[in-house]
Amino acid sequence: MTRLTTSTATAADAFAPTGVAASPARHAPRRAPRTAGGKGEAHDSVFHEPDRERPRRILNVLVASVGLVLAAPLMAVIAVLVKLTSRGPVFYTQVRIGLDRRDPKVRAVHPRRSLDQGGRPFRIYKFRTMSAAEVGADAQVWARPDDPRVTTVGRILRKYRLDELPQLFNVLRGDMNVVGPRPEQPRIFDDLRGQVHGYQVRQRVRPGITGWAQVNQHYDNSIEDVRRKVQYDLEYIRRQSLAEDCRIMLQTVPVIVFRKGAW
């Protein structure tokens, strides 16, 4: 069973210039970090574009609202099945790291003013797919198809990604969008931003239920999978638009129907 290795390095440590003793007034403009492919990321442009974000946000809220209405009967059936087939609550909640609204320029001037969690923590909602005794387990392990912690009903829900349906409420609450990078647990997020170059840049947009990474790759089961997914996420951030979100939503349908990448 592969575990995530712990790293005390942060993304800020990885990107900070060394050997610079000049006063802040004389510092040269800081370049955006480069990805493994050598292309710089436009951090500031992601932060300062409310007009670009507003139509996408309206689309995501509209899709989530319609989705909840259409999926309500199915969600009711799932809730009954989860309750009848295993002990424990119907829903599973967990803290994840969300959108980072801080201006990168201000954060660079005051890097240690407060604890850097990487974004705003929020509670994500899912249908419970594991036995109640395992839900509270603190071990961090990679997903695998024969995970003994998953219940019989939970295995079916995961195959068709139906356990994610309650996250439509997260979209309406403003925690997430339908489309965006997947949010991660605080401790795993802290580990990965020290191991994967550009990982924290994903927090410049709202996390999503589906995304460019999710429709192109299966669940992570190694650090290399994470690195590939981050490249997909950064590609999405560079070209995010209303049309791009619509395209990803449409491409998500065959992923769910044909169980591409799901276990």
Q: Which of 43-57, 233-247, 249-263 has the largest mean confidence? A: 233-247
pLDDT in tens, 186-244: 999 999 999 999 999 999 999 999 999 999 987 787 899 999 999 999 999 999 999 99
Residue 225 token pair: 């999978």
Residue 231, domain member (yes or no): yes
Residue 28, domain member (yes or no): no
Residue 109, domain member (yes or no): yes
- Nearest Cα to 56, choosing from 213, 158, 208? 208
Question: pLDDT-derived band of residue 118, with 50, 70 and 90 as boundaries?
Answer: confident
Residue 230, domain member (yes or no): yes
Residue 12, domain member (yes or no): no
- Nearest Cα to 226, choosing from 1, 36, 13, 33? 36
Does the pLDDT of residue 16 top 90, yes or no? no
Looking at residue 201, the DSSP 8-state letter turns out to be G
Q: The pTM is what?
A: 0.76
- Give the domain range for residue 116: 42-257
Residue 37, domain member (yes or no): no
Does the pLDDT of residue 7 top 50, yes or no? no
Residue 85, domain member (yes or no): yes
Sign of the C-alpha dihedral, residues 198, 233, 207, 82? negative
Average pLDDT over residues 161-166: 96
| Count of domains forming the chain | 1
The answer to whether 207 and 189 are in contact (CB under 8 A) is no
Residue 22, domain member (yes or no): no
DSSP symbols for 115-184: ---SS-EEEEEEE--B-HHHHT----B---TT-TTB-HHHHHHHHTTGGGTTHHHHHHHTS-EEESPPP-
Q: Which of 46-55, 110-119, 143-152 has the largest mean confidence? A: 143-152
